[in-house]
Each structure stands twice: as structure tokens, then as C-alpha cells.
Amino acid sequence: MLTVLIDTDSGNLHSAEKAFQRMARETDGGRVLVSSRPEDVARADRVVLPGDGAFPACRAALVRDRSALHEALLETVEGRGRPFLGICVGMQLMAQRGFEYRETEGLGWIDADVVAIDPGDAALKVPHMGWNDLVIDRPHPVLDGLETGDHAYFVHSYHMAMRDPAQRLAHCDYGTDITAVVAHGTRVGTQFHPEKSQSAGLRLIANFLAWTP
């Protein structure tokens, strides 16, 4: 089994790579490869889209600059139904539209827009940065073993405003509801960084590697 982490040149892939490698080793989860080559994504059994930075830049890296990579992603995830995990901006790209800097089209897999966080209280700083406790909205195989009250590490200034609450698996509170985990069919996304979230994050990664939707 091959899990490909897509490299869009955006930032720190090293810790995501190490976290996936460790959990793959511990769970017989197969091989983990970081790549931006369309042919690697095309043969992947699982695809992870980590993302740091801004929505338009990540989108551009995926689509405008590398349409072959985008096509390979769509073929593997939409065409062949391989499990997909988006992390942080990688999760935000699953939405229909993003509004960071300017309106940008997303992958359209989740019925949501990505909008600026407005906690409605000047004491609540943006970025929403640090450990927040999860509220699990509905069970899902990737959340197996995680409970309401478990902490995850967030760092973001925009968040996913859902139109279909059934696609939200977990959220947290920051003056307003912050979408933490989304899912639709074979695709899941986490706003927080599982690779930075110690035991809860590593658990989620192991769950994803074992998930056979």
C-alpha cells in the first residue's frame, strides 16, 4: 500500500512525513512517499494533502502551475475513490470557495466556504493558535479512539463555514464554532495538524492509514 503526501512547496512537510512514516511502521500501513509528481499521485492507494500558507497559493500550486498533478489527484480520489486526507489549508481546499485575500475556487468536495475567523471578542486573538479541545459531532472510522475533550493543535486565521452540518465530524469553540474535522464519502479533512497533536494526532493518522471506506 502506498500513501502519497502531496508536496505543494508550501512549508513544513518534514514533520508530516515523519508522523505518517512512524504510524505506517507501527500499523503495517505500507509505504509513505512525499512527492509532487503526478505519476506518484496516480498510483497512490491513499492521498494526503498537507497545507501551510495561504489558500490561493496552495490552490495555485496544485492547479495552475501543475495541472497534471491536479488531474492525477482528481483521477485517484474522484475516479478511483482512494481515501483522501486534507490537513489545515489542505482541508480548506476541499471546500467550494476560499476568501483568503480574494475569492478562489476550491476542490468542491465539501459544501462550505472558507472565511476569516471572527471570534467576536478582541481578547480572542487571530490566528487561532494553540491547543483546543475537540467536540465530536458524529462518529467516523478516522476518529476511532478520539473523544470529546481531546486536544488538537490549531494554527489558522480562516476556517470552514459549513452549509451541510452532516459533513462536520468535529468542531471546537473559539468565540464561534470552528470546524475541526470534515468528511464526505472517501474524503476527510482536519483543520488542526495531526502531525503536531501528539497522541490524539498520531491516533488519527493511524486510523486514516487503516480506513477502507
Please check whether residue 169 is in contact with residue 138, taking contact to mean a CB–CB distance below 8 angstroms.
Answer: yes
Q: What share of the chain is helix, strand, coil (3-state, %, to 5)?
A: 30, 30, 40
Site size toward another protein (CB under 8 A) is: 40
Decide if 195 is catalytic: yes
| Selected binder of another protein within 63, 115, 126, 136 (CB under 8 A) | 126
| Selected binder of another protein within 108, 127, 145, 165 (CB under 8 A) | 127
Q: Is 15 in the site for another protein (CB under 8 A)?
A: yes
Q: Is 11 in the site for another protein (CB under 8 A)?
A: yes
Dist. CA 207–CA 32, nearest whole Å: 15
| Selected binder of another protein within 30, 43, 56, 153 (CB under 8 A) | 153
Decide if 151 is catalytic: no
Q: Is 196 in the site for another protein (CB under 8 A)?
A: yes
| Selected binder of another protein within 42, 136, 155, 161 (CB under 8 A) | 155
Decide if 88 is catalytic: yes
Give the β-pairing of 104-105 and 95-98: antiparallel
Please check whether residue 110 is in contact with residue 182, taking contact to mean a CB–CB distance below 8 angstroms.
Answer: yes
DSSP secondary structure string, 171-202?
EEESSSEEEEEEEETTEEEESS-GGGSHHHHH
Closer residue to another protein in complex, CB, 22/43: 22
